[in-house]
Amino acid sequence: GCVIRGETAHFDYVCKTVTDGVTYLNTHMDTPVVFCVLTDDHVQQSLDRSGGKLGNKGVEAGVVAVRMAELNKNK
């Protein structure tokens, strides 16, 4: 996902809530959950991080999720 900072505090609320939710899931459940929410200041940052000059953070998170699932399966 992606949250782009705007003129209100919604950015902070959404980012904090998502972070808290992922933390909760990882500390209370057996299935690992990967945090991959782009928290950008403007659209160009989002484009750069979702397949642009900084790579694709979504693909990177997907690879991590598969690796974590494999580790969890081998427990």
Q: What is the CATH number of the domain that holds 24?
A: 3.40.50.960
pLDDT at 21 over 90: yes
Active-site hit among 1, 10, 43, 44: 10
Judged against a pLDDT cut of 70, whether residue 75 lies above it is answered with: no
Per the structure, how many domains does the chain have?
1
Q: Is 10 a residue of the active site?
A: yes
In the chain, the percentage of residues whose pLDDT exceeds 90 is 59
Residue 61's domain spans which residues?
2-73
Spatial CA neighbour of 50 closest among 67, 62, 38: 38
For the chain, how far is it from start to end, CA to CA, in angstroms? 29
Q: Does the pTM of the predicted model rise above 0.85?
A: no
